[in-house]
Each structure stands twice: as C-alpha cells, then as structure tokens.
Structure 1
C-alpha cells in the first residue's frame, strides 16, 4: 500500500516543482540535491557551518532592521528561526551535498529557505507562503552567496579550530606526562637508524610534546587571519544592493552573536576573490599532520617486535592483530593517525588547487575548500584524542632492553671520548664491534677508567645531558 505524501508547489526561473509539504527546504534545495549527488554527505554533517550560516542570517536581519530595510515583525521571526538553528534544531533540513557547483549558492539558498519557512511558521503562516516572508527578498536581503558563504565558512572554521587546539593540548599533555615518567630511563638515540649517542626516553617523548606545542602556536596564528570577513561585499565586492552602513552593521551584529573579534576586509573586491587565508590554514594543518605522522612512525618503530624488533616500548594492546597469526598485536592507533595525516596532506593539495583555480572576481570552488578544511580539522582533532587516550597514556618502557642496548652500543664510546681520549676511544670501538663485547666492559678491562668513575659517567643525567625533559 502506497501512502500519499502531501506536497506544496514552488516556483523558480526554471518552472514549478512539488516539494514535500513538511520540508523546510524549498525548490532551490530540491534542484541542488538532484544536480549534485556527489558525496552523499549533506551540509547537515557540518554543524559548525550550519550554525555559522544561521548566525550570518541573524546578523543580516538585525542590520537590515537597524537600517530600516526590514520590517521589525519579519526581522524578529528571522532572528528567532536562526537562533533555533544555532541551538541545534532543523539541521536535518540542510540537505544539499557538501560538494556542489555554483560557489556555494545551493548552500546559501538552502539556508534561506529553511530560515524563511521556519520564520513563516513563527508568524502563523504555512511553509511556502513566501508572499509574507521571502527567502531571497527578506532572508537574503543585502546579501549574496559570495559574501555569505565565505563568511560562514570562516566563522565555522574558527570554532572547529578551537576544538582542534584543545585536542592537541590533550595529546601534548599525554606526551609530556610520559616524558616525566621516563626521565631517568636511559636508551640509545639514533640518527639515520644507526646508533648515535645515549639519551633518555623522557627526552625522546619530550620532543613530541614540544612539537605539538609549537604547532598549536602556528595554528593559533593562522586562525587569526580567518577573522577577516567580506560580509557586505555582495556579488563581487562592490557592495551592490547593500545600503551604506550595512557592512559595518552586519559585522558588528555577527561579532556580537558569535563572540568573535571579526573585522571587515579593507578591500572587499580583493577579499571576495582571495582564498589565501584558507591556503595558509591548510598549510598549517599539513604541518601538524606531517609532524604527528612522524611521531607515530617513531612509536611504531620503537614498539616493533616484540622479539625481532626494537622492543623498546610497549603500546597498550587494544585489539587482536591478525586473523591468521595467533597472539599478534598491531600498533593500530598510530596506524590510523598516520592515515589521517595522509588525508590531510591530500586535502592540502585539493585546497591549493581550488584556491589557484579561482578566476577574476570570485572563486567558484569554495565548497571543496570547506569540505577539505572541515575534514582535515575534524579528523585531526579526533586523531589527537584517540592517540592520547588509546595509546600514549598506556605506553610502558622496556627498561632492561633499553639499558642493555646502551651498554652494548658502540655509540656509548662517544660519551666517553672526552675522558679516555680519541685514540683510545677509537680502539675500544673497533674491538667492541669486532668481538661483540660491551664498551663499558672493555674500558674497565683495559683500566682506562676506574669502575666508580665509569659508573658516574654513565648515570642518565650525565650521559644524556639532562634527565629532566624540556618544559612545555
């Protein structure tokens, strides 16, 4: 038995179409869902974007009312609808695919229609009765997709980056805690995968914490550039159809709504076509991904084994590692973080090409920039939290393996070189390498240093320079 679905008829420049009566979206959103069946992921999957769009529409309504362009009753209804959306309601009505042609027009129209139809309800009217409150003439008054969309993307990016910064701090603290825990655990450092000189495991983990601290600073710098908006630029930056004072009024209201120190670009024509701030942000995200992946490579290498690898640290086992090899446990958490890093690096290429492909007064490819930036920021955030909670906090050290490697390493002789002389150190290194005997053992046997002096020189705080990890 087929149940009939009630519809309402809507009209656009291409003709009439039936829209489900209960839908808050309208004919423009309907056509967009048909035209762009690309990812299967609608913009509703990006709550920061939806909330940012509602904030922009609310700010615009307040500015238009303030300038006498929008009747107070309409403005009040639009503001109320936007506040509901910002509170999490009606997100499922944002149905257009995140990747779309038209420079984000479908996203802007989807927002206009949802806000308009909810505002109509609040006015006691039915959805689709646009003669009382219109998506374009009222909700989009004084605006263009070309200033609404990039402004919303920037606001959404700022809030998403704040969450990433917090997640990075959690991971940084996890590494720093391990650095302190392992401050007296002596091990061999390596360069080019060859024995180098002794260090502490604490120093090794401290480096990972410091790298994250540096990247958090770079990310905070990059997000500052995202606070410059072009709201009020309308189509190409000339402000056509936006009255005098609109840009500043809309900016002021949007800043108040979001709590962000937003500024209007000095040159709106430049700001409407330039995606440089997104390129800068993506470059910093790539930097974070590269360094995070490097740290995960180290964790996988240091934990390799347990019998035929380095076996210097133990990663917490979180799942069985093989369907055929009993007892095998794999470093799955660092592996998944590696894959997030690969994605972010690829997204950076996408954002670079999209920014470069802009022509004349508008970049038509901001939807893919939004998609790529959002994926990079969101996935890096969850990767940092997962790595901290499911891996780093549970890492343990195989102290005996680490100590034995130091005692048996030829690299140990470098630390003793100032005390026994270069020639004697060279002879000790050659004999140790030829016989497989330990450096310390040979130094004692040849009487080059007394046992007490050798023991003092091999203490972690002496041999590694400092047993205290660098503060972060």
Structure 2
C-alpha cells in the first residue's frame, strides 16, 4: 500500500482559514489545529475510541446510501476507508491527545478528515483542488457534509466511548479476571485440607484451612466479574441520533434505531439506541457505574495481593506460610533476594485504577455545559486504561504468581500449634474468662497452653487433648 507515500504536503482550510499539513498525513485542517493548539501530554486518544468512531462512520455511510442521501460511490469509498482504520492500517494518522475539547470534537473531526481524504484517494481524486470547477469539487467526499452526515461530535463521540468501553470490558477485563478466578479455584481445591492459624487485626485468631482462606479471594473475584457484567447493559445504550443537544436535529425518524442495530450487527454485541438522548449527551452515569465496578475490583485485588505478599513474607523471618514463584532477582545489592513483584505490580495497577475512578467521578459530576458533559475524553481514556490494566494485570498475577504458589506446610503447622488462640476452643467448657487467663498466663511465661491450663487447675491433660483439636475448629459443630 502506498497511501502515505502518495500524500503530498498541502494547504488545507476550514472555517477559520488555511494552514499547512505536512506530507504523509491524511488528516486535514481541524486535526492540524488541534495538534498546534494542544502541544502537551503524551497521552494520546486511545485507538479503541478511534476504531469505534470509524465503525460509526462506516455504519452511517451505509445507512445514508440506503436512504438515498449519499451516493453509492462515495459511501463505498468511505466504508473501505473506515475498514482500513478499524484494521489498524492508519494508526499514525490519529495523533491527537486526550486533553482537547471536552466533547471530543477534534478527534471526531480527525476521523472524519482521515476517512474523507482516504476515500478521495480511493476514488482517484487528487489532493490538490486548484483549478477544479465547483462541479468537480462536488465529487469529493467532505469530512463534514458526508462523513459526519447525521451526526454531531456530541452524539458520535459518546457513542464511540460506549462501544470502546464494552469491547474492552468484554474482551480484556472479564477474560483476565476469569483467568485469575480459575487459578484461585485450583488453589482452593489444592489447599482444602491444610489447616493453618487465622489472623484478625494482624494478630493470631482461630484456625481455618488455607483453602478456606483462598476461597474468600475466589469469591471476591467472582463478585467482581458479576459487578462488571452488571454495568454493561447501561453502556449498551448509544447516544447516536441525538446530534447536537439530544433533539435529533438533521436526522430522520428511525435513524437512531437503525444505526444502533447496524452497530450491534457489526460488533455482535447488544447495542441499542438510548431511550433518552438528552441524558446520553449531558450525563455519563453509565460510565461512572462501570468505573465504580472497576474501582471495587481494584480494591478487591489490592487486598488479595497484599494478603498473598504477607503470607509469603520471609523466607525465614516473616510468616513464610506460602512460597511465591521466584520470577526474577529482587535486589541489586542483596544476593539471593527474591521479591513478590507480581503482587507489587498488581497493587500499583489498583492504585492507578482507584485514582482513575476519582477523575471519572469528578468529570461525570460536572454540568456547566448544561446539555453536554465536556469531560468526555478524559473519562473514556481513564476507563479504558482501568479496564485494560485490570484485565492484563489479573491474568499476569494468575499465571506468574497464584498458579505457582506452594504451601509451606511445616511452617504452617509450627505457627498453628504455637498460637495462643487455640484456647478459644475451651470457651464452651471453662468459660471465656478462664480461657483468657490461660492464654495470657501462657504468653507471659512463654509456656504452652496445655501446660498452663493444667497448672492453673482448669482441666486435665486428657480434657485438653479432647477439646483443643484444630481440625474441629474450622467449621460449626453438628447439632
């Protein structure tokens, strides 16, 4: 393909005048202005949004040709150009940063201009329009009149936001979490008969099995998947058809339903037209809802990663109940040191996601533009980053940490039988107060619970052995 090589340097124009676009670029004047007006940040608009916008343009071109508002010749070229974008052939033609106009207008026009210029190239039309008659110029695909037909940035961009969000959640986030869920389920089964001491407040508590402990982590992840899945139906509602303020100006009856159906067919996802376009343009509560689900998952994963890191602390001077996989050397100065790097990476991801949710929540609460939320780019950028990070980091944590965890059963038994909290089993027999006296006295003297209980005269050796059995303390008794 010689698309880029064939593009000359040229003068493009918009309603504000003319400016130069360098050779090799398919974009036009409005994209060039955005490059020049927002010369900061290396945070580019996510390509997932670009691909979603191209999909919208493809569906709109097909629809408008079917109803006779756009020529088949133009529509076919536009659809081909859009398909090329979706397949990643023109990624470098979308250089704009997230921090631009709050409606995403510049990115919408970036896509419009690239599709228009590429469609004109497909049609064999020269970039240089000098000397062309008005009739000849009509043969050209216009970024505004043709590619943006029946749309406004105000409904096209939030539609792209929703498409990109649903795609990312369903193809990256949820699959990654399912890998982690399955890895945890394997450990629940493997560790089901390993009895260990429990801990609350970072202090010794009553026993449980290592499998029971991991089952709590498994349940957190399962609930997290459910929460994300529950947020998707609201994201399936598309704003397209609301145009500038939600009224549907410059569209025809049924257009919104038809376009949503076309997008659903293209993506094989359950997209529908939003029942209220005023809400769809002015508020993004559905994005906040999805981000809140991701925020909750981040809180869950942070807790799991910290627990695993703590249980694997050591190897000799920590808890040492778990052996974590040794993925790489842990220190540039301490030989033989290995660190829980997958736990640390995951906790940093969680910190980022929690921060992203704060930004999304604030952005979604703003209403100074009345009929339009003007924080759209930063909302979708943060959401996609959160969704991608959680999916990818969950899978990595599962594969490179959870799957390779081994239980140090000798250390687990040592800590279990050295714990004072086994005394809790004596409560029904000698009462809480007497049991507490045994535990506190044993701790003060550095003695065992059994010796202390006998010395204090609360029970016999035979009674202690009958009543204090760790295996009997990991669940409720039979009636």
Question: Normalised by the size of structure 2, how large is the TM-score?
Answer: 0.90
Once the 2 structures are TM-superposed, how far is the Cα of residue 98 of structure 1 from its aligned partner?
2.3
1:136 alignment partner in structure 2: 144
What's 2:393 paired with?
383
CA distance in structure 2 between the aligned counterparts of 1:206 and 1:454, rounded to whole angstroms: 27
Task: State the alpha-carbon separation in 2 of the partners of residues 297 and 379 from structure 1.
Answer: 18
2:339 equivalent to 1:327: no
Aligned length: 457
Stretches of 4+ aligned residues off by more than 6 angstroms: none
Task: Determine if the alignment matches structure 1 residue 65 to structure 2 residue 73.
Answer: no
How far apart, in 2, do the equivalents of 1:318 and 1:266 lie?
A: 51
Instruction: Give, in whole Å, the separation in 2 of the partners of 1:19 and 1:222.
Output: 42
1:113-147, Cα deviation, whole Å (9 max, x unpaired): 11112211222223476641111110001110001
Which of 305, 309, 324 matches 1:300? Answer: 309
Output the CA distance in 1 between the equivalents of 2:462 and 2:435.
Answer: 12
- Does structure 1 conserve the Cα–Cα contact (< 8 Å) formed by 2:450 and 2:461? no
Aligned equivalent of 2:14 = 12
Match of 1:458 in 2: 470
Contact conserved, 1:407 with 1:439, CA < 8 A, in 2? no
Q: 1:374 to 1:434 in 2, by over 3 A?
A: same
Mapped pair 1:366 → 2:376: yes
Alpha carbons of structure 1 residues 38 and 370: separation in structure 2 relative to 1, 3 Å: farther
Matches of residues 142-221 of structure 1 in structure 2 within 5 Å?
142-162=150-170, 163-221=172-230
Give distance in 1, aligned partners of 2:128 and 2:144. Answer: 13
Q: Paired residue for 1:414? A: 424
- Alpha-carbon separation, structure 2, partners of 1:388 and 1:86: 31
Cα deviation code 1:217-275 (max 9, x no counterpart):
01100121101111011111111111222212222211211212112122212221011
The equivalences for 1:5-404 within 5 A come to: 6-43=8-45, 46-127=46-127, 131=138, 132-162=140-170, 163-359=172-368, 360-404=370-414
Contact 2:197 2:205 in 1 (8 A): yes
Q: In the TM superposition, what is the alpha-carbon distance from 1:178 to its structure 2 partner?
A: 1.2
Gaps of 5+ in 1: 467-472
Partner SS state of residue 40, structure 2: coil
Aligned partner of 2:4 in structure 1 is none
Query: Structure 1 length as normaliser, TM-score?
Result: 0.91
Larger displacement relative to structure 2 (352-361 or 410-419)? 410-419
Distance of 1:278 and 1:177 partners within structure 2 = 33
Contact 2:306/2:343, CA 8 A, preserved across alignment: yes
SS at match of 2:425: helix
Deviations 1:426-459 (A, max 9, x none): 443234223323335656885343687468x333
- SS of the equivalent of 1:449 reads helix
Q: Please, what is the CA RMSD of the aligned residues?
A: 2.1
Q: 1:438 to 1:399 in 2, by over 3 A?
A: farther
Q: Please say if residues 289 and 344 of structure 1, whose CA atoms lie closer than 8 Å, have aligned partners that are also in contact.
A: yes
Partner Cα distance (2:70, 2:367) in 1: 34
Deviation at 1:373, TM superposition (A): 0.7
Structure 1 residues 448, 37: closer, same or farther in 2, change over 3 A? same
Give the 3-state SS of the residue equivalent to 1:411 in structure 2: helix
Q: Deviations over 1:380-433 (max 9, x none)?
A: 112111211111111111111111111111111113433565565344323422
Residue 21 of structure 1 contacts residue 127 of structure 1 at CA under 8 Å; is this kept in 2? no
- SS state of the match for residue 420, structure 2? coil
Whole-angstrom CA distance in 1 between matches of 2:19 and 2:175: 46
Alpha-carbon deviation of 1:278?
Answer: 1.0
Contact 1:24/1:127 (CA < 8 Å) preserved in 2? no
Alpha-carbon separation, structure 2, partners of 1:362 and 1:386: 39
